[in-house]
Amino acid sequence: MGGKEKLTMQMFFAVKCVSVVCLFASQELKLKDKECERLSQVRNQLEQELEELTASLFEEAHKMVREANVKQAGAEKQLKEAQGKIDVLQAEVTALKTLVLTSTPSSPNRQLHPQLQSSGSRGSHRRGAGHIRTSSVGAAFQTSSGKPEPSTVSIQSVATEEREMDSVLFAEFLLWREHPSLDRSSAFLSRVYREDIGPCLSFTRSELSQLVQRAVENNSLTIEPVAMSALPVVKASALECGGPNGFRASVETKCALSGLSRVCQHRIKLGDKGSYYYISPSSRARITAVCNFFTYIRYILQGLVRQNAEQIFWEVMRLRREMTVAKLGFYLTDQG
């Protein structure tokens, strides 16, 4: 009897131990299940974030590609424009080198300066156009009948030009040449602006005149001929093509600067704007005279002019004279 009780007690303790172990195992499994559930939620959240990040990266990549394509197209356009400007500048440099090397104030190249041709050749050239201009020197040797004396003076003596240097102008030029710049505060450029550039670029359309002067100063003005053979002949009163946005001008139209009906064979463009303005030959001559002055000044700044101070001064004075003459309405026309 005692052995059975002992066995029963042992079985009771064994069952008790198994129950406790099962209880601990059950609690452990519950903890594991909670941990698995938490990890599963973390994994799902990471997967969602990864998908959102991937989509965002793809969208950003496509956006960057589009922007790169736009920038590439813009860069290619700017490159073409820059190459065109470089070609123009190279042509200007070549022309200026030829001018500097072959023409000086004391011995000008008459092929490069048609305005220096002798009065006899210029007179015969203009006679074919139905307009004859008589020089003041030739008129001084006319007889009482109004006919000029034959061979009273030689062509060489008529073409000779005397000049005398102004000490004030030369002093201002020398002071500017010590530190050359395009700063208008210098006495030299201030005088040129006041006496030459301002009056030469002062047109009836004052607002457009200011834009033209600014473009000339920034070296961003373009003058190009108009293909007259391809243009229809329209009466001037029916046209208002002096304004912007490129209208194909007729043979006679309104000059954008003077507002007068003239034969506009050229048009100008200010900077990179797409607007064109048609101008008369007189307006073109005035703009060209100022552009020639600024071109020569820029070449001085770049060190391309290899002459002494007096020669450079007289070339500057010649360019100033061109501006004055153009302002007064005189200009050369291409014949033939």
**274-325 pLDDT tens trace:** 788 999 999 999 999 999 999 999 999 999 998 899 999 999 999 999 999 9
Query: What percent of the chain stands above pLDDT 90?
Result: 42
Q: What is the structure's pLDDT at 255?
A: 94
- What's the token pair of residue 4? 């059975």
Q: 10 Å Cβ neighbour count for 29?
A: 10
What pTM was computed for the model?
0.51
- What's the token pair of residue 96? 């200026």
Is there a contact between 241 and 253 (Cβ–Cβ < 8 Å)?
yes
Mean pLDDT along residues 100-111: 55
Q: What is the structure's pLDDT at 335?
A: 53
Distances in whole angstroms, Cα of residue 33 to Cα of each of 18, 20, 43, 46, 47: 22, 20, 15, 20, 21
Please indicate whether residue 175 or residue 145 has the higher confidence score (pLDDT): 175
Q: 10 Å Cβ neighbour count for 272?
A: 9
Give residue for tokens 């000029």: 148
User: What is the rounded distance in angstroms from the CA atom of residue 237 to the CA atom of residue 226?
Assistant: 20
Tell the burial category of 21 from Cβ atoms under 10 Å away from its Cβ (0-12, 13-18, 19+). Answer: exposed
Residues 6+ apart with CB under 8 A from 310: 165
Q: CA nearest 327: which of 300, 293, 296? A: 293
Q: What is the structure's pLDDT at 277?
A: 93
| Three-class SS state of 195 | helix
Count Cβ neighbours within 10 Å for each residue of 127-143 and write b for 16 or more, e otherwise: eeeeeeeeeeebeeeee
Residues 6+ apart with CB under 8 A from 228: 251, 265
| Three-class SS state of 254 | strand
Residues 6+ apart with CB under 8 A from 329: 282
Q: Look up residue 142 and give its DSSP letter.
A: B
Q: CA nearest 182: which of 285, 301, 92, 84? A: 301
pLDDT at 103 over 60: no
Mind listing the pLDDT tens digit for each residue in 173-230? 999 999 999 999 999 999 999 999 999 999 999 999 999 999 999 999 999 998 755 4
127 HSE (CA, 13 A, CB side): 7
Using CA atoms in the order 230, 233, 239, 244, what is the torsion angle rounded to 10 degrees? 10
